[in-house]
Amino acid sequence: MVLDFNTIYYPGRFERLIEDFFRPQPGEGRRMAFPPLNLSEDEANYYVRSEIPGLAMDAVELTLTEKSLVIRGERPTEQGKYYRQERPAGFFQRVVALNVPVDRDKVRATLADGVLTVVLPKCESCVPRKISIDVA
Amino acid sequence: MSKNTENSNESKALPRVSPATDILEREDGFYVFMDLPGVKREDLNIDINENELTVTGRALQGASEAESFLEVQFGPGEYVRAVSLSDRVDRERIKANLKDGVLTVHLPRLEKLAPRRIPVQTA
């Protein structure tokens, strides 16, 4: 029958819906926006990581402005007759607001296995320094 | 031995993620595209059972211990996804390719099933 070919129908769908509703979702952020971003820092650098599968480095446009880091690009659509399409396609853009001073000339970006890593070194002159007071 | 159990514990601790998958048909067969960001070639396994193609891969994010996270929208995970194969797929000629975190699996059609005209012989 027609239902056999419908990819949306599967047995237990309603039960799954109820389960999903009551189960706390640890990966809730996964579906928020494309591409997902991780922001972290250590003593020397800030790190911006992002999952952008399917794009080469030259297809990703990174812009560093005074206050923000912009990640832009386009995911191409494959040609053919689709049975199932879950991968997001089309233009994307994410803006990371930088409220902190960074060393703009030493920013590095790498893209390996679909994971983009941008390293933003903390500005040398902005790192808080301890000033020792000598007692005369 | 203890190392093995540690490893298995570690992989159990990783959350299971179903990767986003496109399945489409072209003239030369079926194509399956999967987003597997962060998965290296050696961490990826593709198994074919009777009529199920199972893809498993582990993505470990290369963050060091010293980093403190301000925002987390993705993390390390174990990708698991099974795709059922039609009888029309030629299992011997399946090709897989991993590039920039996207796995492409090409499933060619069985050539035997191409329409064939049966010649009628006159006795």
Chain A CB contacts of B40 below 8 Å:
113
In a domain, A21, yes or no: no
| Domain assignment of residue A46, given as a range | 31-126
Looking at residue A9, its pLDDT comes to: 56
CB A113 within 8 A of CB B101: yes
Question: Mapping DSSP to helix (H, G, I), strand (E, B) and coil, where does residue A100 land?
Answer: coil
pLDDT tens digits in sequence order for chain A, 136 residues long? 344 555 555 567 677 777 777 765 555 544 567 888 889 988 888 999 999 999 888 889 999 988 889 999 999 888 899 998 888 888 999 999 888 888 888 899 999 889 999 999 988 766 666 778 888 7
- Cα gap A46→A127, rounded to integer Å: 13
Of the candidates B48, B28, B23, B31, the residue with the CA atom closest to the CA atom of residue B114: B28
Chain-chain contact of A40 with B68 (C-beta, under 8 angstroms): yes
In a domain, A91, yes or no: yes
Of the candidates B120, B1, B103, B33, the residue with the CA atom closest to the CA atom of residue A80: B33
Q: What are phi and psi of B28, to 5 degrees?
A: -95, 15
In a domain, A24, yes or no: no
For domain B14-61+74-111, the question of CATH label 2.60.40.790 is answered with yes
- Cα gap A33→A92, rounded to integer Å: 9
> What residues does each domain of chain B span?
14-61+74-111
In a domain, A1, yes or no: no
Of the candidates A33, A95, A100, the residue with the CA atom closest to the CA atom of residue A64: A95
pLDDT tens digits in sequence order for chain B, 123 residues long? 344 444 444 445 778 888 999 999 998 889 999 999 999 999 999 999 888 899 999 888 767 777 888 888 888 889 999 999 888 888 888 999 999 999 999 999 887 666 778 888 887
Residues 69-98 of B with CB under 8 A from A: 69-75
**Which residue is closest to A111 within chain B, CA to CA?**
B100
- Cα gap B2→B7, rounded to integer Å: 9
Q: What is the CATH number of the domain that holds A99?
A: 2.60.40.790
Chain A CB contacts of B66 below 8 Å:
42-43
In a domain, A18, yes or no: no
Question: What's the number of domains chain A is made of?
Answer: 1
